[in-house]
Amino acid sequence: MSYQIRSINDLQEEIFRLKTLESHQSAALKARVSSPSAIFSSVMSLFPRSVDSDGVRSSGLFHPDIINLVSRFVIPLTLNKTLFRNSNFLVKTLVGLVSQKASNYVNEDSVSGIWGTVKGLFEKFTKKKSKDEYKPEPYKKPVAGPVV
């Protein structure tokens, strides 16, 4: 602190300066978290983002870093609660370590591929015939002539 306080007036000026600084900073902070989108962007800034091959940071919902982060927790938790429910501590620890390594292979492409496959299966069962697929037979002139 380079500012020296030598009298009561200097102290009062410094208190006033700090109070105005506090009011400006509180107004800026309120403006930053005033809307839901501002809060969401603040939360999303906590997650790291990697640079793509083009040198551009992507910001999609299925970002590989977010999916990897979620899969590091979801895969071991799911396996230990379902398949390895009655296993001992060592087996659960090994499952956790192996699934941490396996979560590196879970990325946007694999999730999108699985989603496309599931979506295709549901479309196959719920597909309705469109009007374009229905084609009536063309008109055939009677062989014996017109019927009277």
Alpha carbon dihedral 138, 140, 146, 148, in 10-degree steps, equals -50
pLDDT score recorded for residue 9: 92
Cβ 70 vs Cβ 56: under 8 Å: no
What would the mean pLDDT of 63-73 be, rounded to a whole number? 70
Q: What is the pLDDT of residues 28-59, one digit of tens each?
A: 888 777 777 777 777 777 666 655 555 555 55
β-bridge partners, 51: 57
* Per-residue 3-state assignment (H helix, E strand, C coil) for 75-116: HHHHHHHCCCCCCCHHHHHHHHHHHHHHHHHCCHHHHHHHHH
Q: What percent of the chain has pLDDT over 70?
A: 74
Q: State the average pLDDT over residues 52-79.
A: 66
Pairwise pLDDT comparison (102 vs 132), residue with the higher score? 102
Structure-model confidence comparison of residues 6 and 55, the more confident one? 6
pLDDT at 71 over 60: yes
Check: pTM over 0.95? Answer yes or no: no
Residue 85 has pLDDT above 60, yes or no: yes
pLDDT of 1 = 55
Average pLDDT over residues 9-31: 91
Pairwise pLDDT comparison (141 vs 1), residue with the higher score: 141
